[in-house]
Structure 1
Amino acid sequence: MSTTSSTFGGQLLVVGVLAQVWQLSGSSVAVGAIGLANAVPTVVFGMIGGALADGLDRRRLVVLSTVGQLLSAALLAWHAFAGIRSLPTVLILVAVHAAFLGLSAPVRRTFVATLLPPRLVGAGIALTHLSSQAAMLAGPAAAGVITARWGAGACYALDVLALAIALYGVWRLPAAARPGGEPTRPGPRAIWEGWRFIGRSPALAGSFLTDVFATVLAMPVALFPAINAERFGGNPDTLGLFLSAIAVGGIAAGTASGLVTRSRGAGLIQLLAAGVWGVGIIGFGLAQPLWLALGCLAVSGAADTFGVIARGALVQAATPDSHRGRVSAAELALGISGPDLGNFRSGVVAGATSPAFAAVCGGLMCVAGVVGLGLLNRPLRRFRLPGSPDSTRSPA
């Protein structure tokens, strides 16, 4: 309940900020600055939050950071309703909101593994991802209607309500949501130790590298406007269908997530899912009829969901609780920066060649990277989740 409510409210805030910044500036550069105001604080404070999660009471940390998000959303609502036309203030409040989100995000990722028995961790991650996908599908649609009728301030106000619900959900968590083992003293050394732990674990390092191949090499979102203009008349409705197709594929895969949770070969599933993602992007780059382009994106969205669930289960299973916060923070940092870098790569390649070439070559590089990693990284390929007779942990 807490994560779903927080995600839904976050989507309301994202759309509200986009609408307000465009209204205040009329500048695409200013709208692009929103991404910077979000990404940098989320990554920086996400690393800090991961270190804190391994040394402090996790439940209390999420409660305090959620209160910070709630207050910053309330200030955004006040700013909008008061009619203050200050773009810097909006961006600063967005950055503050993102910083508190970064503090809580890696901690939230540890809750499934600490509250559920090992055999149910995969199912718990699948359910969490499915609920988040549903919130991400419904949130923007609702936000568009709310913004059109009542303005961005209404979106911010509803985000405050959603965060209040999320706060109640975290407050009700049992004490099992606290870190186990010897508490870690937060600081740069603790953060570095988390990255060293990942480097010493072939399964973890391979899992993260698989995600890098899929996002940095084959992220297609930056190509959507150009491909839409070249092939499908540039209709904004069609552009929206591209994003919806990925989400629909993800939700469909989420309903079939038992295929992942019942199969304990998380590493192999993640590799296969990343490969299918790349193939789907190749198909999208080559597709001429709209139905085929949307179908390829839906397949990629489904593969992405299977990959995210498998990676999440593998990361939690391969990481002892003493390092779980820091490793989750590293996963968060890669999850945020990877797509941004991938979209930048796609845009640069498309500018030098063509959007279709950027999509196809990105998908081919993703598939090649995944195949090579699968052949060379045996611990990742053979990693088994707890719950089966032959399950083993990756050496740390």
Structure 2
Amino acid sequence: MDTSENSTAERPDADDGTARQEPPRARGWRRWAMDTRPLRRPAYRRLWTSTIVTAVGSQLTAVAVPKQIYDITGSSAWVGYASLAGLLPLMVFALWGGAIADTMDRRRLLLITNTGIAVTSLLFWVQAVAGLDSVPVLMVLLALQQAFFGLNSPARTASIARLVPAGELTAANALGSTVMQTGAVVGPMLAGALIPVVGLPELYLIDAVALCATLWAVYRLPPLPPLDSTVKRRAGWREVAAGFRYIGLHKVLLLSFLADIIAMVLGMPRALFPQLAAETYAPYGEGLALGLLFAAIPVGAVLGGLFSGTFSRARRHGLMVIAAVVAWGVAVTGFGLSDSLWIAAAFLAVAGVADMVSMVFRGAILLSAATDEMRGRMQGVFTVVVAGGPRLADVLHGTAGSAFGPRAAVVGGGLLVVAATLLLATVTPALRRYRV
């Protein structure tokens, strides 16, 4: 391992306020292009490269599991039950994993959890090749995989602040978020193309093999132990509760979580996409409509990431979060009012751009406003909010769509997002006043 990567010059900590002098700012169109300065730092570059593999490979498994369950049962309900089976372990172990990430070397935790994810993918392949055709086995493996992911995610994200200086946190978040959104687009398309060629079991095997590259990249990271090694820390549920108390005492952190909950719970209309594709946009072809609706938000997010150069120059991170969530609500409202499929997809793409902006600046706030000994727990809560919000939205929008019609439910949700966000910003000014 390169010992130069362990020096503070190579990986300055955000906590000490020291950062290398920034290079001259780009001019012209380069001002808008993605800020790639964090990739000049070998340690961050390795972590980011491993994210590319994970983003695409995980989507192969995310497609293969519901496809296999549907092939066995012929029931979409069982596909939904499987999704719920993975949600509870994800939430529980993300909270616990955040506490663990604050007590031990985060590189070591990443090695352990990535190994667990890879072994689980290999077990998915074994059961598929063996022809077990067992939904309970699939659900147990899915729960195990999501538990490892819950342990992994807080440590991975919390490590970023130890690998890049404070001035590059926003750019690093934009790079990571863009890769994840690209994986959400490319992964399912690649899975759809590979299933007829190599078969469904091989998707699991490709994911498992790809995770070996992730393990090698993580192995090459510098050690990331707690900054204050003299303090003895535990990782029990008392420490998890301390993380929630920390959020309550720091308004800007609490408000950043509330802003995301408002956007995702009230304004994520994906549960209504099948009905809208079958009814409102049926003249365009149900298959085409459904594909466009599901792809539009991640495509918009990727475009937002590619033109995220201005993010690094923004200092009022809280105001950027508020503006992005309001823009999300306006775009969702426009989507609900659209009769044309192409205009509807364009509004969803705009919503994707807004979601990317919100994601990047909320992530930067969590990394900069929290101390290093709390970053793991903050990222654990972040994982729970990101995973749980859309699922709650599915229930809320599905119920509202059945009661009032899908378009009324979408428009109502979008307007509620705008109203609730503006009210939050007015009543509690801490978020809108927050500067990096």
**Contact conserved, 2:275 with 2:406, CA < 8 A, in 1?**
yes
Equivalent residue for 1:89? 137
TM-score, normalization: structure 1? 0.95
Gap runs ≥5 in structure 1: 386-396
Equivalent residue for 2:272? 223
Gap runs ≥5 in structure 2: 1-48
Q: Distance in 2 between matches of 1:64 and 1:84?
A: 28
Q: What are the equivalent positions in structure 2 for 1:227-266 lying under 5 Å apart? A: 227-233=276-282, 235-266=286-317
Q: Distance in 1 between matches of 2:98 and 2:419?
A: 32
Q: Distance in 1 between matches of 2:420 and 2:364?
A: 22
Which AA in structure 2 matches 1:81? V
**Contact conserved, 1:260 with 1:266, CA < 8 A, in 2?**
no
TM-superposed CA distance for 1:302, in Å, is 0.5
1:7 matched to 2:55? The reply is yes
1:305 matched to 2:356? The reply is yes
Equivalent residue for 2:14? none
Equivalent residue for 1:178? 225
SS class of match (2:68): helix
2:127 to 79, 82, 93: 79
Equivalent residue for 2:246? 197
**Contact conserved, 1:8 with 1:162, CA < 8 A, in 2?**
no
**Contact conserved, 1:260 with 1:269, CA < 8 A, in 2?**
no
TM-superposed CA distance for 1:363, in Å, is 0.5
Which AA in structure 2 matches 1:140? P
Which AA in structure 2 matches 1:213? I
Q: Distance in 1 between matches of 2:354 and 2:312?
A: 15
Which AA in structure 2 matches 1:353? F
1:324 matched to 2:375? The reply is yes
TM-superposed CA distance for 1:23, in Å, is 0.5
Q: Distance in 1 between matches of 2:281 and 2:195?
A: 28
Equivalent residue for 1:120? 168
**Contact conserved, 2:182 with 2:299, CA < 8 A, in 1?**
no
**Contact conserved, 2:318 with 2:435, CA < 8 A, in 1?**
yes
Structure 1, 181-190 or 329-338: larger mean CA deviation: 181-190
Equivalent residue for 1:388? none
Residue-by-residue CA offset, 1:224-260 (whole Å, 9 max, x unaligned): 0111112111612210111211111111100121222
SS class of match (1:341): helix
Q: 1:280 to 1:48 in 2, by over 3 A?
A: same
Equivalent residue for 2:208? 160
Identity across aligned pairs (percent)?
Answer: 38
Which AA in structure 2 matches 1:17? V
**Contact conserved, 1:204 with 1:318, CA < 8 A, in 2?**
yes
TM-superposed CA distance for 1:183, in Å, is 4.9
SS class of match (2:226): coil
| Number of equivalenced pairs | 384
1:65 to 113, 123, 126: 113
**Contact conserved, 1:45 with 1:99, CA < 8 A, in 2?**
yes
Q: 1:230 to 1:183 in 2, by over 3 A?
A: farther
Which AA in structure 2 matches 1:155? L
Which AA in structure 1 matches 2:93? F
Q: Distance in 1 between matches of 2:313 and 2:225?
A: 28
Equivalent residue for 2:344? 293
TM-score, normalization: structure 2? 0.86
Which AA in structure 1 matches 2:89? P
TM-superposed CA distance for 1:283, in Å, is 0.7
2:388 to 337, 341, 358: 337
Q: Distance in 1 between matches of 2:233 and 2:287?
A: 50
- Could you say what the CA RMSD is over the residues aligned between the two structures, in angstroms? 1.0
Which AA in structure 1 matches 2:72? L
- After TM superposition, the runs of 4+ consecutive aligned structure 1 residues lying more than 4 A away are none
